Structure 1
Amino acid sequence: MLFAHDTEVSLASTIALINTGHEPEGLTTREELDAFVREWEWTGSRTHDEAEFEQVLRLRERLGRIWLAQEEALVAEVNQLLRDCRALPQLVRHDQWDWHLHATRSEQPLADRMAVEAAMALVDVIRSGETGRLARCVAQDCDNVLVDLSRNRSRRYCGAGCTNRMAAQAYRARRTKL
């Protein structure tokens, strides 16, 4: 285990959110946002209105811009996210989750809660000196981001689709040379 479980879950949900902005684009409707919130088990109040939806889309773009930032810029952006959302970390336990950090009140806007969760996870990455694990998929036709949690820092692709597609391309290229 490289990071605490809640950090890894926050990183995964942040990646999922960012990657909905790439082709084929996800989160094009409020219903898709509802499904995303259910899938990632976001708790707290919701308005389910267009304003909430737009806030989440703006957050997605913001997180996408900062994901691959150099360390100093990443730190500045993370600190700004925490300030913007008036984060106040505290330990909580709810549902099936044991003790973990929440840094917002459950009645704060969904986008603020998402922003702070992402920022807190990135704080752990930065403090651990592991910002090099934040990456972009190396597949030529993919703009998705990823976090490399492998021991040997060998993850290059965002998921099985890109991994398999690139392996097939390499295989075909080798076969053509024979």
Structure 2
Amino acid sequence: MTTVPLVPAAWLVELVNGYGSRPRAAAARTEEPYPDLDRLADLPEATALGEERLIGVADRLWPLFASADSPERTAVINDLLVRSRLTPYLDHEARTRWSTSLNAPDKLVMAGCVTTLMEVVAHGGWRRIGTCEGEDCLDAHLALPGRSRRYCSTTCLNRARIRSYRARRRQDPSVPTED
């Protein structure tokens, strides 16, 4: 059995947004270079993966963020759990760890991502994960515990506010302008 790597949640979101086909297409980033994910020394399995495998992992994870339907999300994560062949165990400090019979780097990274998402959902529910509600953005995001989130970044939030302001202004010219 191989120990499943610990995948930082921020890295996971960056993977889905930077390599996922749908988020890249929605933001017209298909011609841009892929982000450098190798900078994480704690995840050597990821450095062995090429772009195609990272795209595959990101594309399999994205539906979990994109669905607003809890039963559908449950089905997706349970399928990923089965495919990852995960087995829980306790380490010497009584922390839950995971192992798998798989040893291909992309399968290990996927298993690590699945266990990270399982922890996120277990400690905060499905409302912690989602995709940006920005008009031209499908980026994934994770909300902090106890918080809700609708946009992937401040940039998308600001764009939405500006669009809303301009729409109100078109409907009601008496809305004051900022000069």
TM-score (norm 1): 0.67
Q: 2:99 — aligned with what?
A: 103
Q: Is 1:45–1:110's contact at 8 Å kept on the other side of the alignment?
A: yes
Q: Is 1:10–1:121's contact at 8 Å kept on the other side of the alignment?
A: yes
Aligned positions of 1:73-92 closer than 5 A:
73-90=72-89
Q: 1:116 — aligned with what?
A: 111
Alignment of 1:12 onto 2:10: yes
| Number of residue pairs matched by the alignment | 158
Aligned positions of 1:137-152 closer than 5 A:
137-149=132-144, 151-152=146-147
The SS at the match of 2:160 is helix
Partner Cα separation in structure 2 for residue 147 and residue 61 of structure 1: 17
In structure 1, list runs of 5 or more residues that go unmatched: 1-5, 94-98
The structure-2 alpha-carbon separation of the partners of 1:80 and 1:53, relative to structure 1 and needing over 3 Å to count, comes to: same
Q: Is 2:124–2:145's contact at 8 Å kept on the other side of the alignment?
A: no
1:28 Cα shift?
A: 5.1
The SS at the match of 1:135 is strand
Partner Cα separation in structure 2 for residue 132 and residue 66 of structure 1: 12
User: Which of these two proteins has the greater Rg computed from alpha carbons?
Assistant: 2
Q: 1:131 — aligned with what?
A: 126
The SS at the match of 2:97 is strand
The structure-2 alpha-carbon separation of the partners of 1:25 and 1:18, relative to structure 1 and needing over 3 Å to count, comes to: farther
Q: Is 2:132–2:138's contact at 8 Å kept on the other side of the alignment?
A: yes
In structure 2, list runs of 5 or more residues that go unmatched: none
Alignment of 1:36 onto 2:37: yes
1:118 Cα shift?
A: 1.9
Cα deviation 1:95-137 (Å, max 9, x = unaligned): xxxx7735348x9233212211221122224434610222221
Q: 1:3 — aligned with what?
A: none
The SS at the match of 2:37 is helix
The structure-2 alpha-carbon separation of the partners of 1:147 and 1:40, relative to structure 1 and needing over 3 Å to count, comes to: farther
The structure-2 alpha-carbon separation of the partners of 1:110 and 1:28, relative to structure 1 and needing over 3 Å to count, comes to: farther
Q: 2:151 — aligned with what?
A: 157
1:139 Cα shift?
A: 1.2
Partner Cα separation in structure 2 for residue 38 and residue 113 of structure 1: 18
**Identity, % of aligned pairs?**
23
Partner Cα separation in structure 2 for residue 92 and residue 38 of structure 1: 27
Partner Cα separation in structure 1 for residue 89 and residue 106 of structure 2: 19
